[in-house]
Amino acid sequence: MLAYIENFKDMPDRLLKYNEILLEGEGSSPECYQDTLSYRRLAVALTTKCNLVCKWCYRLDPQYKNILNKELDIDIYKEFVKNTKGRFRLVHLAGLGEPTLYPRLIEAIRLSKELSKNVKFTSNGVLLTPENISEYIDAGLTHIEISIDAFDKEKLREFRGVDLDHLAKIVLYISEKTDLHLQINSVVSSVNYQWLTGMVPVFKEAKNINVWHTIPLFETSQMRGNGIKPLGIKDYQNLLLSLNEAITNEGLNWKLFPDAYGVQLDPVIEMKRKRNICFSCFEDPYISVNGRFNYCSRQEFSSVADISPGFEQAWNHPSLLKFRRNMLNGLYPRYCGLLCFLKDKPLDK
């Protein structure tokens, strides 16, 4: 239970809203009353353009076809920042595309700094250099995530079309030459999990990696068609136990997230399993490239609420309240049931 509660550390309103939904279910309020600092992050999608075609990327699913190759209008983001009163724990420049392709990334980092002292982006690492990393830091970047889904040169090239040697040099540079909070992200699936064990020998010199985040596969129709499936819980736990042993044997201070015992302690997943309710639409504000809030970060195509009036007004927009009210009653778009852990009792649209 202590490990479970750790998910709410320093976020009292997150715990309050979570318990309200657990206790009240469909009788809960669809309004999000949480203090802005009780959200884990504010996510902002700068672009849906990407320079890679990764084997399990959900951008390949037909649902996302109409929102690819777009960019956020920086003027809309400026309006949002100007009209938002609260501050956030973290602003995460993330989403369906590669942020280093966004031509106004430096400006976006500076704007985000007005919303939070912590600004992060997630990158595939291909376009990162010591020079542009320094520019991002000067603009206000504090955290960086690099996605690496295999630690074998040939397999990484097969899965993502990426040069592992380049990523190793960049990771080592960030680790040893900057103060960025460095996180490595690895998707875990039935196809690649055996090539994740090479992380420690490949990156053991990068001693200042803060977190290695392994991410369960979000299954889409495109993945199912290619025989790519999530890894079973038992195999996932065994993988994490072996990774933790290798990290410990090398005397490294990397944190595995989740650890082997935390795989089944994700409160968002557990609410879906136990209540058939998705908590993300209540606590994961995500701005799409269209300058609108989405129902959730996995539904880039569901842009519904104009962000220009600022967070406090836009996050409880009538369209979002309606979606949350339906979710509390176990009603949601079919795609939610296909993608997540919800039982299939969907709305037709």
Single out the residue of 253, 312, 251, 315 nearest to residue 281, CA to CA.
315
For 234, residues 6+ apart whose C-beta sits below 8 A from its C-beta are: none
Domain assignment present for 345: no
Q: How many CB atoms lie within 10 A of CB 9?
A: 9
**pLDDT tier at 347 (50, 70, 90 boundaries)?**
low
- Nearest-5° angle of CA 133, CA 134, CA 140? 90
pTM: 0.93
Domain assignment present for 334: yes
- Establish whether the linkage from the previous residue to 12 is cis, with ω within 30° of 0: no
Pairing of strands 42-45, 292-293: unpaired
The predicted-structure confidence for 92-135, as pLDDT tens digits, reads as follows 998 889 999 999 999 999 999 999 999 999 999 999 999 999 99
Domain assignment present for 22: yes
- Which of 9-18, 238-247, 337-346 shows the lowest mean pLDDT across its residues? 337-346
Domain assignment present for 275: yes
How many domains does the chain contain in total?
Answer: 1
- The CA distance from 190 to 188, in Å, is 7
Average pLDDT, integer, range 56-81: 90
Asked whether residue 348 carries a pLDDT value surpassing 60, the answer given is no
For residues 52 and 1, the answer to whether their CB atoms sit within 8 Å is: no
Of 72 and 331, the one with more pLDDT: 72
One-letter identity of residue 26? E
Domain assignment present for 205: yes
Averaged pLDDT score across all residues of the chain: 92
Residues shown for the chain = 349
Domain assignment present for 159: yes
Domain assignment present for 63: yes
For residues 272 and 278, the answer to whether their CB atoms sit within 8 Å is: yes
Asked whether residue 83 carries a pLDDT value surpassing 90, the answer given is yes
- The CA distance from 139 to 267, in Å, is 34
**pLDDT tier at 349 (50, 70, 90 boundaries)?**
very low
**pLDDT tier at 342 (50, 70, 90 boundaries)?**
confident
The predicted-structure confidence for 134-193, as pLDDT tens digits, reads as follows 999 999 999 999 999 999 999 999 999 999 999 999 999 999 999 999 999 999 999 999
The predicted-structure confidence for 280-298, as pLDDT tens digits, reads as follows 999 999 999 999 999 888 7
**What Rg value do the Cα atoms of the chain yield, rounded?**
20
Range of the domain at 133: 2-339
Q: What is the pLDDT of residue 95?
A: 83
Pairing of strands 119-123, 181-188: unpaired
For 148, residues 6+ apart whose C-beta sits below 8 A from its C-beta are: 125, 156, 162, 164, 167, 184, 185, 186, 199
Residue 49 burial (C-beta neighbours within 10 Å; 0-12, 13-18, 19+) = middle
Indicate which CATH number applies to the domain containing 169.
Answer: 3.20.20.70
Average pLDDT, integer, range 313-326: 96
| Percentage of the chain modeled with pLDDT above 70 | 97
Domain assignment present for 344: no
For residues 115 and 88, the answer to whether their CB atoms sit within 8 Å is: yes
Q: What is the pLDDT of residue 345?
A: 56
One-letter identity of residue 5? I
Q: What is the pLDDT of residue 341?
A: 67
Sheet with strand 91-94: strands edge to edge:
255-257, 209-216, 181-188, 143-147, 119-123, 91-94, 42-45, 286-287, 292-293, 305-306
